[in-house]
Amino acid sequence: MASKEPEHEPRADEEETTAAEDEDTGAQVAPIVKLEEVTVTTGEEHEEAILDLKSKLYRFDKDGNQWKERGAGTVKFLKHKESGKVRLVMRQSKTLKICANHLVLPTMTVTEHAGNDKSCVWHATDFAEGELKDELFCIRFASVENCKLFMETFQEVAESQQQKEDNEVASAAAGLLEKLSVEEKKTEEKTEEKEEKKTEEKTEEKEEKKTEEKAEEKEEESEKKEPASST
């Protein structure tokens, strides 16, 4: 049986063109457009990551009464270096679009999703879409260990924020007490000054009165010493 011939064989001119294209002439071609390096900011420059895990995020759609996927990517807990506040941020892996962006507050709790030990749920006031919205989130991880780690970190952050809030309240109260103490001290000093001034005024009045009395006594003595006028 004859073997099947190839449907197309390269022609001589095609071989020459190919060879010419493959040949390195050593010439350098400058780029038509020069692109400058652009610094991209993420808004995370003043924060440090406490946790960084790959996951898939869902939000509960109340109107449709069902879970809807928000995106797959990396979820992070980011702590601000100055304020100490912590927020949860998640971006889609390819587009880097924000799926979740909210502060972790002391009142927040996270619980395991019923029937799935790789998922957990929590409520939050989210700002991912540019406006504050109350959301019920569900996040799913590749392993049970990652889910537990996320939940433990979430609770630790919430508790630390509660402690931070309590410390701020205590500091504010201490500052207020200190301010009141200073004001009371100033009031006492003013009262003392007034009392001292009154005492000084009374002393001056007494001295003036004594001076006047002495002057009157001298006048009376002078009048007694003067001889009676002759008639």
**Structural domain contains residue 226:** no
**Structural domain contains residue 134:** yes
How would residue 27 be classed by pLDDT, with cut points 50, 70 and 90?
A: low
How would residue 9 be classed by pLDDT, with cut points 50, 70 and 90?
A: very low
**Structural domain contains residue 143:** yes
**Structural domain contains residue 146:** yes
**Structural domain contains residue 19:** no
Range scoring the smallest mean pLDDT among 40-44, 50-54, 149-153, 158-162: 40-44
How would residue 31 be classed by pLDDT, with cut points 50, 70 and 90?
A: low
Q: Rounded CA gap, 134 and 111, in Å?
A: 17
**Structural domain contains residue 102:** yes
* DSSP secondary structure code for residue 43 in this structure: S
**Structural domain contains residue 228:** no
Task: Note the pLDDT of residue 183.
Answer: 75
Q: How many domains does the chain have?
A: 1
Average pLDDT over all residues of the chain = 81
CB contact at 8 A, 80 and 44: no
**Structural domain contains residue 187:** no
Segments forming the whole domain that contains residue 117: 47-164
Could you write out the three-class secondary structure of 127-183?
CCCCCCEEEEEEEECCCHHHHHHHHHHHHHHHHHHHHHHHHHHHHHHHHHHHHHHHH
Q: What's the pTM?
A: 0.58
Task: Note the pLDDT of residue 194.
Answer: 84
How would residue 26 be classed by pLDDT, with cut points 50, 70 and 90?
A: low
Q: For residue 156, give the CATH number of its domain.
A: 2.30.29.30
Does the pLDDT value for residue 149 go beyond 90?
A: yes
Percent over 70 (pLDDT), the chain: 74
Average of pLDDT values for 158-187? 75
Q: Rounded CA gap, 173 and 165, in Å?
A: 12
Q: Rounded CA gap, 69 and 123, in Å?
A: 16
- 70 class by beta-carbon count within 10 Å (0-12 exposed, 13-18 middle, 19+ buried): buried
* pLDDT tens sequence across 58-102: 999 999 999 999 999 999 999 999 999 999 999 999 999 999 999
Range scoring the smallest mean pLDDT among 136-140, 150-154, 196-200: 196-200
Structure tokens belonging to residue 144? 């049970």
